[in-house]
Amino acid sequence: MFTLVDTLFIIFSALVNPLILIFLLLLISLLLRRKIYSKLLVIISLITFYISSNGVMSSYILSGLEKYKAVDAHEVASYRALILLGGGLERQSSIVTPTILGYSRILEAARIYQIAKNQGINYKVIITGGDVRKYGISEAQLYGQILETLGVNKDDLIFEKESLNTYQNAKYTKEIVDKLPYKEYLLVTSAIHMKRATIYFKNFDIPIIPAISDNPQAIVSFIPNTYNLTLLNLAIHENMSIIRLKLYNFLGINSKENVFSRAGQ
C-alpha cells in the first residue's frame, strides 16, 4: 500500500508544480493534430505562467505559511537552547558553502547566541543536517565551523549529522533533546519553511518556539517575474509536504514504513 500511495502522491505533487504543468501542456499541444485544441493548450500555458509569476498567487500562498516572526532579546532570554535546521549546501568550484537560505539561518542562530551571551546566558546550539548531496561534509559540520568563526563556543554546539530532510531533522533531533534538560527550544529556519518544520517537530513531541531567519516576499507586478515563480514552487512544495505527513499519519504509513527517506522531503 505504501508504494502505491507514495507513487500517486509524488505524481500529484509534480502535476501541481507550475513549471511541470506548463511543460506538459506545451508538450501535449505539440502532439495534438487539431490546431484549435493545440492553440487552446498554448493559451492555457501562457495564462498559467502569468498567474504563477506575477506575484499574486505567490503572495496568497505565502500568506498561509509565513505567519511567524524573528525573536527579540526578551524572548531569547526566556530559553536556553536552539535548534538550527540545515538549509542545504552547494559546491562552488572546489569549495562547499551553505546555500543562501542556509546562510540566513546560520546568521540568525549566531545572533540569538550573541544576544544570550551579552545577557550572561549560556545557549546550546543543536545543528541538524546531513550530507544530502554527498559532498563529504554534513550541513551540521559546515554550519558549525561557520558559527565558530562568528563567536559561538565549540563546546556549545551539538551536531546531528545523519538527517537528509526535514522529517529526519525532527526524528533524529528527538533522540538528542530527550537527553537534554531543556523544556523548550527555539527553532531557527526560514519563514517559508517554518510551518512545515513546526508540524514535523511537534509530530515527534519536540517543544519548539518558532524563530525565523528570513521572510521572503513576492513582488506583485503586471510584468512576470521568475523570482515569484520560484517562491510559488517553494510554497507549493511546503504545503504538499505538510499534506503528505498528515495523509501518511492518517493511513498509518509513517509508523510502518521508512517514509520520507528521500532527500528533500
Domain extents in the chain: 2-64+223-251, 73-212
pLDDT tens, 102-114?
A: 999 999 999 999 9
pLDDT tens, 128-166?
A: 999 999 999 999 999 999 999 999 999 999 999 999 999
Residue 96's SS3 state is: strand
| Alpha helices (H) in 32-180, listed in sequence order | 35-53, 56-63, 73-76, 100-118, 139-149, 166-177
Confidence (pTM): 0.90
Residue with cell 515563480: 229
Question: How far apart, in whole angstroms, are the C-alpha atoms of residue 119 and residue 77?
Answer: 8
Q: At a CB cut-off of 8 Å and minimum separation 6, what does 115 contact?
A: 73, 76, 77
Half-sphere exposure of 188 (CA within 13 A, CB side): 29
- Cell numbers for 12, please give them: 500529484
- Cell numbers for 124, please give them: 546550546
Question: How far apart, in whole angstroms, are the C-alpha atoms of residue 141 and residue 239?
Answer: 29
Question: How far apart, in whole angstroms, are the C-alpha atoms of residue 89 and residue 171?
Answer: 21
The superfamily in CATH containing domain 73-212 is HUPs (3.40.50.620)
